[in-house]
A and B are shown apart, each in its own frame.
Chain A
Amino acid sequence: MKRSLPLAMLLALSLAPAARAANEADYKAAYAAAEAASKEAAGMRNQWTVTVSTLAAAKKAADGGDFDRAVAAAQEAEALAKASIFQATSEKDAWKAMEIR
């Protein structure tokens, strides 16, 4: 599956309503939330590669001073991390449905 399709749709859904340009404080908060979710996903041994790369992209954008993109990327990373957590918890029992009996 093309990487860009799900990400693009995801971005559209998670557009932050904030009108004014994001600043460093917004970025720090968004990044902290994303990092916490990512750590939790890793703790459940169900981290996604795209979470890690999007988190890195957020940091890179912030280092470059582009806080709008950095916040968007951090929020996206958080969404991905939460999705992987949701996946891990729901799969705890869901896997049995697939089992060959």
Chain B
Amino acid sequence: MTTTTGPHPTRRLILQGAAGVALLGLGNLPFGAAPARAAANDKYPEEAFKLKNEADAIKALYGKTVEPSDKVKLDAPEIAENGGVVPISVTTTLDKVTSISFFVAENPNALAASYRIPDGTLPAVANRLKMAKTTNVTAIVEADGKLYSATKEVKVTVGGCGG
């Protein structure tokens, strides 16, 4: 991080103070009348994030089969400007969406991010992901208990001419 000359008020406080901040309602107690619809379980899917291969990760996260669907619109660049910051977003016209997840096939761990979509939240997410190399990126939408997906290839390489 930054050098220590001239303390950097915001970052230093964050790094030191972060742990001290009391977080209300930490942990996984679902509070408020969570709607009955079976959202993916509330706990952080530790296992799924550890798995290397995409199919295993999907099974660990959802335990169901997936079918591609053109109702899932995945937006990803053709050639990533930089593998460290790749803008990826998904929208869908499917109904009763409860979860959206992103898988990067060639990454050390396929599952990149998973989002729980409570009732009343629009089924669309934009985020920035890291990609180790040229890879397929798959977005999976859980709608009304069934899994739909879309996949695109993103070319990734380093920049510059040498060094």
> Quick one: which of A1-57 are within 8 Å of B by CB?
1, 3
Task: List chain B residues, Cβ under 8 A from A1.
Answer: 161-162
**Complex Cα gap A3–B161 (Å):** 11
Chain B residue, CB-CB nearest to A49 = B163
Binding site secondary structure of chain A: loop
- A36: min CB distance to chain B, Å: 27
User: How many residues of B are counted as interface, with CB atoms below 8 angstroms from the partner's CB atoms?
Assistant: 2
Question: Which residues of chain B have C-beta atoms less than 8 A from A3's C-beta?
Answer: 162
Contacts of B162 in A (CB 8 A): 1, 3
Contacts of B161 in A (CB 8 A): 1
Q: In chain B, what residue has the closest Cβ to A1?
A: B162
- Bound together, the chains give a CA A1 to CA B162 distance in angstroms of 6
Specify the chain A residue showing the minimal Cβ separation from B161. Answer: A1
Q: Which of B47-105 contact A (CB under 8 A)?
A: none
Please, which residue of chain B has its CB at the minimum distance from the CB of A3?
A: B162
A98 to B137, CA, bound (A): 44
Give the CA-CA distance A1 to B163 in the complex, in Å. 9
Within 8 A of A (CB), among B122-163: 161-162
Q: Which residue of A lies closest to B162 (CB)?
A: A1
Q: How far is the CA of A1 from the CA of B161 in the complex (A)?
A: 7
Name A's B-contacting residues (CB within 8 A).
1, 3
3 contacts between A and B (CB under 8 A): A1-B161, A1-B162, A3-B162
